């Protein structure tokens, strides 16, 4: 096993740990309902794995995910700062906010298909829709993100796209 994949996995896990450990330090008045401010669940797409979200205020949050990138052929970790500026629908049972955000992604690419193992580090520009249940501590989301990458092998810069959908339970 080469040192690059091990080092990148340590970097990925360290980045997610840092994101989660700093979240409570920056929290202000968070969501007023009894739903809770921290959600954890699953994301399917690019990546497929675990998803977390922490509300900093009524319309801001940080989120992150770690999982397998099947199209990217590797392990992906990302974290984003999100802003929910538009409420598209509000009913007694749910709200439908749209969100935008900026974040970072690390992809430890396993190669395959003639590709060499390498690391991709990039900026994520994300947008999505959130189906936020008001009577149960769940949300369902769909998002798309453009990623501008620095790559350690081949062309030094590139563009990727992430598309994911998921569900989170709030504590």
**CATH number, domain containing residue 70:** 2.40.160.20
pLDDT value, residue 18: 44
Domain count, the chain: 1
Lowest average pLDDT, out of 31-40, 102-111, 118-127, 137-146, goes to 31-40
Q: Is position 59 within any domain?
A: yes
Q: Is position 31 within any domain?
A: no
Question: What does R_g of the chain's alpha carbons equal in angstroms?
Answer: 17
Task: Print the domain residue range for 99.
Answer: 3-25+37-170
Q: Is position 32 within any domain?
A: no
Lowest average pLDDT, out of 17-21, 48-52, 56-60, 163-167, goes to 17-21
Residue 124 and residue 149 in contact, taking contact as beta carbons nearer than 8 Å = no
SS3 131: strand
Q: Is position 30 within any domain?
A: no
Q: Is position 86 within any domain?
A: yes
- The pTM is what? 0.78
Give the chain's mean pLDDT: 83
Tens digit of pLDDT for each residue in 97-134?
999 999 999 999 886 555 677 899 999 999 999 999 99
Residue 16 has pLDDT above 50, yes or no: no
Residue 100 and residue 124 in contact, taking contact as beta carbons nearer than 8 Å = no
Q: Is position 69 within any domain?
A: yes
> If you average pLDDT over residues 26-53, what whole number do you get?
79
Q: Is position 46 within any domain?
A: yes
pLDDT value, residue 59: 93
Q: Is position 90 within any domain?
A: yes
């Amino acid at each position: 096993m080469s040192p690059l994949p091990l080092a990148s996995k340590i970097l990925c896990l360290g980045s997610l740990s840092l994101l989660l450990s700093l979240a409570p330090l920056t929290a202000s008045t968070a969501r007023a309902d009894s739903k809770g401010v921290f959600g954890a669940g699953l994301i399917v797409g690019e990546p497929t794995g675990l998803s977390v979200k922490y509300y900093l205020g009524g319309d801001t949050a940080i989120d992150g995910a770690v999982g397998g990138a099947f199209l990217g052929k590797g392990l992906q970790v990302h974290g984003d700062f999100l802003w929910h500026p538009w409420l598209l629908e509000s009913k007694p049972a749910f709200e439908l906010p749209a969100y935008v955000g900026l974040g970072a992604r690390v992809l430890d690419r396993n190669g395959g298909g003639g590709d060499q193992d390498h690391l991709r580090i990039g900026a994520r520009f994300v947008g999505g829709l959130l189906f936020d249940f008001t009577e149960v501590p769940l949300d369902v989301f769909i998002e798309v993100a453009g990623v501008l990458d620095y790559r350690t092998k081949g062309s030094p810069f590139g563009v990727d796209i992430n598309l994911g959908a998921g569900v989170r339970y709030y504590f």
